[in-house]
């Protein structure tokens, strides 16, 4: 298994603003590689450079063994791309969209019909064949977009937030499709905001402000966390969160529903201080226990001090 996507010191500026700031990573063939980061982190910008539709300001990148900067057209036969925004023709039917991309990729006559049927089945849209793409529910649209991106059977697939705004069932179906693709040896580069989705990835890179701040397998990322994570159950979670963020920002407080997570480097000393703070502010603590880091905790932690509100 070799490296099939590689970026070295990738930089992209828009005027004076640097959207991607010296990003380097390598993706193995057959891997599901996740790109995680908050809004505006530079995920889409990176993906567009990898797909050869946005020129990097500097840096090198290879996709499928091809230098994208010099031979963008060569690389295009090897990649499938699903953009963050639905970008098929809404005024064409499902089938017309599939036909269009099959024609654009010049699929050979003999296998064309078969492939088109196969992609229709893969998207699970046989029933919707003659519906306008614009009239499809969100989850169907995403599957159609995936189907069209896979029509020419590319070995490398770029998916930019493929499940944004899609219901949980559709998301699950979609990830089953992705797993199926990976099973067939395809390389998948996917960006996401969802932590459960990140757990499905073989490897992850966390990006913030255009820089990669952490990388590794989900397990590695979790294990790499030092200190102890405390989960605090209280009746006043919001007030508690605000308080800790003000007084002890270094503990990276984060809200998970009604639970407050704080990470402590030195449990013995910090726990006391925390309890005292809550007591002074009349915040009743129901329970406080050490738990293991989830990916979301890692995410909040590495995205910098000050804390983030989790979902």
Q: Are residues 253 and 261 in contact, defined by beta-carbon separation less than 8 angstroms?
A: yes
Separation in Å, CA 224 to CA 144, 228, 292? 38, 12, 12
Residue 60 interacting with another protein (CB under 8 A):
no
Residue 39 interacting with ligand ATP (CB under 6 A):
yes
Q: Between 12 and 152, whose beta carbon lies closer to ligand ATP?
A: 12
Which of 9, 40, 71, 103 touches another protein by CB under 8 A? 103
Separation in Å, CA 138 to CA 26, 85, 88, 166, 181? 32, 11, 13, 6, 21
How many residues touch another protein under the rule CB under 8 A: the total is: 28
- The region of 41-49, 131-139, 250-258, 295-303 touching ligand ATP under the rule CB under 6 A is 41-49
Q: Between 43 and 141, whose beta carbon lies closer to ligand ATP?
A: 43
Q: Between 24 and 84, whose beta carbon lies closer to ligand ATP?
A: 84
Q: Are residues 234 and 277 in contact, defined by beta-carbon separation less than 8 angstroms?
A: no
Q: Between 104 and 235, whose beta carbon lies closer to another protein?
A: 104
Give the residue from 102, 177, 113, 101 showing the smallest Cα distance to 139. Answer: 177
- The region of 18-26, 103-111, 231-239, 247-255 touching another protein under the rule CB under 8 A is 103-111
Beta strands in 156-235 (DSSP E): 156-160, 187-192, 203-208, 211-216, 228-234
Q: Are residues 251 and 264 in contact, defined by beta-carbon separation less than 8 angstroms?
A: yes
Residue 293 interacting with another protein (CB under 8 A):
no
Residue 44 interacting with Mg ion (CB under 5 A):
yes
> In whole angstroms, what is the distance from residue 177 CA to residue 123 CA?
9
Residues that bind another protein (CB under 8 A): 48, 51-55, 72-73, 76-77, 79, 81, 83, 85-92, 96, 100-101, 103-106
């Amino acid at each position: 298994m070799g490296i099939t996507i590689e970026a070295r010191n990738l930089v992209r500026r828009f005027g004076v603003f640097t959207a991607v700031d010296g990003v380097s990573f390598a993706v193995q063939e057959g891997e599901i590689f996740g790109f995680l980061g908050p809004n505006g982190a530079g995920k889409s910008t990176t993906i567009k450079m990898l797909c050869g539709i946005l020129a990097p300001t500097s840096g090198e990148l290879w996709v499928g063994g091809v230098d994208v900067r010099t031979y963008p057209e060569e690389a295009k036969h090897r990649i499938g791309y699903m953009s963050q925004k639905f970008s098929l023709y809404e005024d064409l039917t499902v089938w017309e969209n599939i036909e269009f991309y099959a024609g654009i990729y010049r699929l050979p006559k003999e296998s064309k019909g078969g492939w088109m049927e196969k992609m229709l089945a893969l998207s699970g849209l046989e029933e919707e064949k003659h519906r306008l793409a614009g009239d499809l529910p969100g989850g169907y649209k995403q599957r159609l977009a995936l189907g069209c991106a896979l029509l020419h059977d590319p070995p490398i697939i770029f998916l930019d937030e493929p499940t944004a705004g899609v219901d949980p069932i559709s998301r699950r179906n979609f990830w089953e499709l992705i797993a199926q693709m990976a099973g067939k040896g395809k390389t998948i580069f996917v960006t996401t905001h969802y932590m459960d989705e990140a757990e499905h990835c073989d490897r992850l890179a966390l990006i913030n402000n255009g820089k990669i701040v952490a990388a590794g397998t989900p397990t590695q990322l979790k294990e790499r966390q030092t200190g102890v994570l405390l989960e605090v159950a209280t009746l006043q979670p919001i007030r508690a969160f605000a308080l800790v963020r003000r007084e002890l920002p270094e503990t990276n407080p984060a809200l998970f529903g009604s639970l407050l997570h704080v990470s402590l480097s030195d449990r013995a000393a910090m726990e006391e201080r925390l309890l005292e703070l809550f007591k002074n502010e009349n915040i009743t603590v129901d329970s406080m226990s050490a738990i293991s880091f989830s990916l979301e905790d890692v995410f909040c932690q590495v995205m910098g001090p000050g804390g983030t509100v989790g979902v």
